[in-house]
Amino acid sequence: MRSRRNAKVAARRSAAAPPRTGDSVLPVAPSNPLSSGARRRFLASTAAVAAAGLLGPAAAAETFEPQLGRVGRDVMWLPTPDSMIERLLRMAGAGPQDKLVDLGSGDGRFVIAAARDFGTPGLGVEYDAKMVEYARGLAEAEGVADQVKFAQGDVFETDFSYASIVAMYLLPTLNLRLRPQLLAMAPGTRIVTHAFDMGAWTPDERTEVQGRDGHLWIVPANAGGVWRAEDGTSQPLTLELEQTFQRVQGLARWTDLATSLREPRLSGNRLQLAYTDPAGELQQLDAAVEADTLRGVLRSARGERALIARRVGEAPAIGGSGAASNEEMQAAAALLGEW
């Protein structure tokens, strides 16, 4: 998973507190996003895909045959190998109850595989009208036309907030531009990407399939702020939580005592943490964040009891929910050159 490179990039990212920026710093022209060197490496890395015959017999039967590297709106078309698609859908726990959206769906293989192999209905959003038509033909050939849709459109102008799984194989800078929208989705939404990550929003899980990187994020609930609870001890408990993306840290506080939280963890709307209470007991909380209520169970060596806490005041914005910084954008662009 190219961890040394990632460490280098991470080190660069954290080197300074960066100013805010907009799209104008995007380092690439819309229709030719890679430098010629990076483009060659990008194409070379997918040569195996073509060699493996991933374009398939159904595609071959069509009059229009897309070529690898076909110029797209913000990034060229290259397909995700089937093995990576399957792995990412497994990591996302895809099933018939989900709704998948593939942002930049190309020939539609991600959406088609989800419907065919996981029973997951889906939408592919693709700027290239010819690819949209082509994907519809493939869906027909695969017998999933009634479960999938392909829409011609720009991913930056599409409402995909209803999806429970979002798939992307775009570019690092494009992932960052979409990040605020993705982080604002319903808690528990799963986002999977082939190849590129989302900068400071570290994935919940990384995978490597035949030398290629894949990632999973689970959109976190907003657990930040001050929560008041009665935990059954003599003094009322306050939890003070700070959240950046899905990472949470903070304090448990009583009248004249405070203590840091052990290994707080947030996955979707599930919050788990532990602390030593004023009596010296280790308390382990397993709770659901339901808007401004925290509802769960406190377990200790003495047994378990229910805990309900209410947020005091407004929920603060999740750290990282704004636009990516200039420096993060530049680090993402530099990543392409190293790829």
Ligand X SMILES: C[S@@+](CC[C@H](N)C(=O)[O-])C[C@H]1O[C@@H](n2cnc3c(N)ncnc32)[C@H](O)[C@@H]1O
Q: Which residues bind ligand X (CB under 6 A)?
A: 72-75, 77-80, 102, 104-106, 109-110, 125-128, 131, 154-156, 169, 194
CB atoms within 10 A of CB 112: 28
Closer residue to ligand X (CB): 105 or 269: 105
Closer residue to ligand X (CB): 49 or 237: 49
Buried/exposed code over 140-153 (b: 16+ C-beta within 10 A; e: otherwise): ebbebbebbbbeeb
- Please report the beta strands in the chain, taking only residues with DSSP state E, as ranges in sequence order: 100-103, 122-126, 148-152, 165-168, 190-194, 205-209, 212-218, 225-229, 237-244, 247-254, 257-260, 262-267, 270-276, 282-290, 293-300, 303-312
Tell the smallest beta-carbon distance from residue 159 to ligand X (Å).
Answer: 13
Tell the smallest beta-carbon distance from residue 125 to ligand X (Å).
Answer: 6
Q: In whole angstroms, what is the distance from residue 107 CA to residue 105 CA?
A: 6
List, in sequence order, the alpha helices (H) in 212-325: none
Closer residue to ligand X (CB): 55 or 287: 55
Closer residue to ligand X (CB): 169 or 245: 169
Closer residue to ligand X (CB): 160 or 227: 160
Nearest CA to 171 among 191, 198, 149, 144? Answer: 198
Tell the smallest beta-carbon distance from residue 322 to ligand X (Å).
Answer: 21
Closer residue to ligand X (CB): 104 or 172: 104
For residue 37, give the 3-state DSSP assignment: helix
Closer residue to ligand X (CB): 65 or 154: 154
Closer residue to ligand X (CB): 72 or 203: 72
Any residues with CB less than 8 A from the CB of 206 and at least 6 apart, and which? 1, 213, 214, 215, 216
Q: In whole angstroms, what is the distance from residue 290 CA to residue 271 CA?
A: 11
Q: In whole angstroms, what is the distance from residue 56 CA to residue 293 CA?
A: 51
| Residue nearest ligand X (C-beta atom) | 104
Closer residue to ligand X (CB): 128 or 197: 128
List, in sequence order, the alpha helices (H) in 3-153: 3-13, 36-45, 47-51, 56-61, 82-91, 109-118, 129-141
- Sign of CA pseudo-dihedral 228, 233, 235, 240: negative
Query: Which tokens sit at 166?
Result: 């979002």
CA dihedral angle for residue 253, residue 186, residue 14, residue 178, rounded to 10 degrees? -160
Tell the smallest beta-carbon distance from residue 284 to ligand X (Å).
Answer: 40
Tell the smallest beta-carbon distance from residue 154 to ligand X (Å).
Answer: 4
Tell the smallest beta-carbon distance from residue 289 to ligand X (Å).
Answer: 31
Tell the smallest beta-carbon distance from residue 181 to ligand X (Å).
Answer: 13
Tell the smallest beta-carbon distance from residue 6 to ligand X (Å).
Answer: 21
Q: In whole angstroms, what is the distance from residue 131 CA to residue 339 CA?
A: 26
Please state the separation of Cα 291 from the chain's center in Å: 21
Tell the smallest beta-carbon distance from residue 93 to ligand X (Å).
Answer: 19
